[in-house]
Amino acid sequence: MGEHYFASRPGAASRLRTVDLVLPDLHLRLETDRGVFSPDRIDPGTRILLETVPAPPPAGALLDLGCGYGPIALTLARRAPEAQVYGVDVNERALELARRNATAAGLDTVRFALADEIAPELRFEAIWSNPPIRIGKAALHDLLLTWLPRLTPGGRAHLVVQKHLGSDTLQRWLNEQGFPTDRLASRSAYRVLAVAARPEPTRTGDDTA
């Protein structure tokens, strides 16, 4: 079996290639390599996410969680040029490709980084992700419980998940965790989930007593 795509330092010898991300509003040529997710084509789930999610908030901080070589983060940056876009990943080869792809696209302000390089107090207006389902349910839940609480009040996350990899179960679990979650789109075998920030607990009692 091949090496999984979420190794921090993939061992596979480099073999660079390019893929084209063509959407109605943009065209990006992206460099990819062995040892990263979907190196030979834009993943169909990623494409569906980028085709179905409404425009991101125009300003503030936006996050691509599990950015790979950068297709989602760079699309966010094109669609919201005033926003500060972040992409995080564990795969350093993917992060290096994403940085090079940002430079080639003239989108150098996008910050591609490991999770612990992002200031912990930073809050995101939107999180877009094709999440790493293959890391297993417990690790995925930990990952989502690390980042979703960092949505601003009123912020929204959009996640694309294959139905047979558990999109319905994930939707249910997110609701149980207090993140109101709806299915935004359903196309081929993919579901796009819209996840709202957890409502702030309402204050009760009288502080003046």
List contacts with ligand SAM (CB under 6 A): 5-6, 37-38, 43, 46, 66-68, 71-72, 88-91, 94, 115, 130, 132, 135, 143
Name the nearest CA neighbour of 69 among 110, 116, 25, 22.
Answer: 110
CB of 143 to ligand SAM, least distance (A): 5
Q: Closest CB to ligand SAM among 75 and 181?
A: 75
Q: Closest CB to ligand SAM among 165 and 180?
A: 165
Report how far Cα 12 is from the mean position of its chain's Cα atoms: 24
DSSP β-bridge partners for residue 34? none
Residue 36 and residue 49: Cα distance in Å, rounded? 19
Q: Closest CB to ligand SAM among 70 and 155?
A: 70
CB of 85 to ligand SAM, least distance (A): 13
CB of 184 to ligand SAM, least distance (A): 17
Is 98 in a helix, a strand, or coil?
helix
CB of 101 to ligand SAM, least distance (A): 11
Q: Which residue is nearest to ligand SAM (CB)?
A: 66
> 3-36: b or e for each residue (b if 16 or more CB lie within 10 Å)?
eebbbeebeeeeeeeebebeeeeeebebbbbbbb
Q: Closest CB to ligand SAM among 135 and 152?
A: 135
